Amino acid sequence: MNTGSAHDVAIIGGGAAGLSAAVTLARSLRSVIVVDAGEPRNAPATSAHNVLAREGGSPRELLAAGRREAHHYGADIRCDPAVAARRADDGFEVDLANGGTITARRLLLATGVIDELPDVPGVREFWGTSVLHCAYCHGWEVRGQPIGVLGTSTLSVHQALLFRQLSDDVTLFCHRMPDPSDEASVQLAALDIQVVHGIVDRLRGEDDVLRAVVLDDGHEHLIDALTVAPRFMARADLYQQLGGALTEHPLGAFIATDPLGRTEIPGVWAAGNVSDLGAMIAAATGAGVTTAAAINADLVAEDAGDAVRARAEPFPAAKGDIRDDSSAR
Ligand SMILES: Cc1cc2nc3c(=O)[nH]c(=O)nc-3n(C[C@H](O)[C@H](O)[C@H](O)COP(=O)(O)OP(=O)(O)OC[C@H]3O[C@@H](n4cnc5c(N)ncnc54)[C@H](O)[C@@H]3O)c2cc1C
């Protein structure tokens, strides 16, 4: 079998996607190393929702449990950012920030995304608590409250409609979005969604609690929560170093894969938010398992080919020996 690389699979990123892939691969007796910088995307949030059987748990505790499970099956977990990746003779080499290089036959990128937030003072401060982006993740927690929607594109109208399902007090701040179309305006009016024109200057809070949106003309609008539409940018430095290119999307940019997580670069796979911008935790977890199974199948095929060649190689030499012996008699 192939023994040149220290590990069968190096997983870069130990969030929901990377850790679930690690469990699946380690349970197939693959040698797995997970390299994780420890900055999951939902870290600013205090709770994670739509996670069956772990509903409302802490994002950090969820991943701590995932690490324990992966470790239990033999995965090696390093808390260290990966800073460089290159192809090696029979796989890949990955350099770690704190020194050292790991080698693996296959690379799984589960590095997630960076949420590029709108440049409005206060947005970053309240991000993940009362500045939200996903009606499914934290909409229930702000149900019935005054909710603002920061308009940055025509998709903001959709966000306003989604949050209107959760509250009858929704205000769309047009801010930097184009004026709503006639059709959108009719829908917004029919659902009693207030539309406020003008640029949002900042958010105002007190005692770490969001209180109001302040417009650049000084007017304040009291709200308890604000929804925004970040740009989701795949963390793909390593992929680009290996020669890969990102695929643009109206919401950001991602690594394109086939349904099993295979990228355009042979031997490199991707799962979770890095390749699916809309994946919530359950979807990222599922993608990790699916991609891990596909990687294992790929390695099984390679191992079988190696085994066939290893068995076949001695026979020509042995036949030669016999022929030589008989001609000597
Ligand atoms: C504020 C907020 C709240 C959310 N709440 C919910 C919720 O309640 N329910 C829900 O289902 N979804 C929620 N989500 C979405 C959820 O965060 C994602 O679905 C999930 O994190 C995707 O998992 P992932 O493994 O793809 O990426 P991540 O969880 O982001 O994990 C990626 C990991 O890779 C690491 N990494 C990146 N680059 C490197 C590198 N070069 N070397 C080593 N490690 C690296 C990162 O540090 C990180 O630990 C929320 C998102 C946000 C922003």
Examine residue 242 and state whether it is found in any structural domain, yes or no: yes
Q: How far is the CA of 66 from the centre of ligand 1 (A)?
A: 13
Whole-structure pTM value: 0.93
Q: How far is the CA of 114 from the centre of ligand 1 (A)?
A: 9
* 158's tokens: 């959709």
> Based on the number of CB atoms within 10 Å of its own CB, is 10 exposed (0-12), middle (13-18) or buried (19 or more)?
buried
User: Is the separation of the CB atoms in 131 and 226 below 8 Å?
Assistant: yes
* Statement to judge: residues 271 and 300 lie in one domain: yes
Examine residue 44 and state whether it is found in any structural domain, yes or no: yes
* Statement to judge: residues 122 and 216 lie in one domain: yes
User: Is the separation of the CB atoms in 194 and 171 below 8 Å?
Assistant: yes
Best of 111, 142, 274 for a ligand 1 pocket test (most atoms within 8 Å of beta carbon):
111
CATH number for the domain harbouring residue 170: 3.50.50.60
For ligand 1, residues with CB inside 6 Å are 12-18, 35-42, 44-45, 48-50, 81-82, 110-112, 115, 128, 137, 235, 272-273, 279-282, 284
Q: What is the pLDDT of residue 316?
A: 54
Q: How far is the CA of 113 from the centre of ligand 1 (A)?
A: 7
Examine residue 262 and state whether it is found in any structural domain, yes or no: yes
Residue nearest atom 1 in ligand 1 by C-alpha distance? 128
- CA 82, CA 251: separation in Å to the nearest integer? 26
Q: How far is the CA of 286 from the centre of ligand 1 (A)?
A: 14
Last residue of a domain, one of 195, 210, 227: 227
Q: What is the 3-state secondary structure (H, E, C) of 204-254?
A: EEECCEEEEEEECCCCEEECCEEECCCEEEECCHHHHHCCCCCEEECCEEE
* Statement to judge: residues 36 and 170 lie in one domain: no
Q: Where do we find the tokens 């995307």?
A: 41
User: Is the separation of the CB atoms in 137 and 55 below 8 Å?
Assistant: no
- CA 309, CA 149: separation in Å to the nearest integer? 62
Beta-sheet pairing, 101-109 with 91-96: antiparallel
Examine residue 184 and state whether it is found in any structural domain, yes or no: yes
User: Is the separation of the CB atoms in 292 and 21 below 8 Å?
Assistant: yes
| Percent of the chain as helix, strand, coil, to the nearest 5 | 35, 30, 40
Best of 61, 276, 280, 291 for a ligand 1 pocket test (most atoms within 8 Å of beta carbon):
280
* Statement to judge: residues 212 and 122 lie in one domain: yes
* Statement to judge: residues 218 and 267 lie in one domain: no
* Statement to judge: residues 111 and 151 lie in one domain: no
* Statement to judge: residues 244 and 221 lie in one domain: no
Rg of the chain over CA atoms, in angstroms? 26
User: Is the separation of the CB atoms in 53 and 72 below 8 Å?
Assistant: no
Q: Phi, psi (5° rounding) for residue 297?
A: -60, -40
* Statement to judge: residues 29 and 108 lie in one domain: yes
Best of 137, 237, 276 for a ligand 1 pocket test (most atoms within 8 Å of beta carbon):
137
Q: Where do we find the tokens 């499970």?
A: 69
* 313's tokens: 């190689």
Which atom, in ligand 1's list, is nearest to the CA of 39?
47
AA letter at 264: E
The closest alpha carbon to 210, from 315, 287, 127, belongs to 127
The closest alpha carbon to 233, from 167, 277, 189, 280, belongs to 277
* Statement to judge: residues 31 and 60 lie in one domain: yes
Examine residue 320 and state whether it is found in any structural domain, yes or no: no
Domain count, the chain: 2
- CA 258, CA 270: separation in Å to the nearest integer? 10
Q: How far is the CA of 15 from the centre of ligand 1 (A)?
A: 6
Residue nearest atom 51 in ligand 1 by C-alpha distance? 42
Q: How far is the CA of 34 from the centre of ligand 1 (A)?
A: 15
- CA 167, CA 193: separation in Å to the nearest integer? 10
Predicted confidence pLDDT, tens digits, the chain (329 residues): 444 679 999 999 999 999 999 999 999 999 999 999 999 999 999 999 999 999 999 999 999 999 999 999 999 999 999 999 999 988 999 999 999 999 999 999 999 999 999 999 999 999 999 999 999 999 999 999 999 999 999 899 999 999 999 999 999 999 999 999 999 999 999 999 999 999 999 999 998 899 999 999 999 999 999 999 999 999 999 999 999 999 999 999 999 999 999 999 999 999 999 999 999 999 999 999 999 999 999 999 999 999 999 999 765 555 545 444 444 33
* Statement to judge: residues 42 and 12 lie in one domain: yes
* Statement to judge: residues 246 and 308 lie in one domain: yes
Examine residue 165 and state whether it is found in any structural domain, yes or no: yes
* Statement to judge: residues 49 and 106 lie in one domain: yes
Q: How far is the CA of 42 from the centre of ligand 1 (A)?
A: 5
Contacting residues for 47 by C-beta, under 8 A, at least 6 apart? 56, 57, 58, 59, 141
Examine residue 323 and state whether it is found in any structural domain, yes or no: no
Q: What is the pLDDT of residue 86?
A: 98
Examine residue 324 and state whether it is found in any structural domain, yes or no: no
Q: How far is the CA of 44 from the centre of ligand 1 (A)?
A: 10
Q: How far is the CA of 179 from the centre of ligand 1 (A)?
A: 33
Count Cα neighbours of 78 within 13 Å in the Cβ-side half-sphere.
Answer: 19
User: Is the separation of the CB atoms in 9 and 30 below 8 Å?
Assistant: yes
Range of the domain at 151: 118-227
Last residue of a domain, one of 227, 259, 278: 227
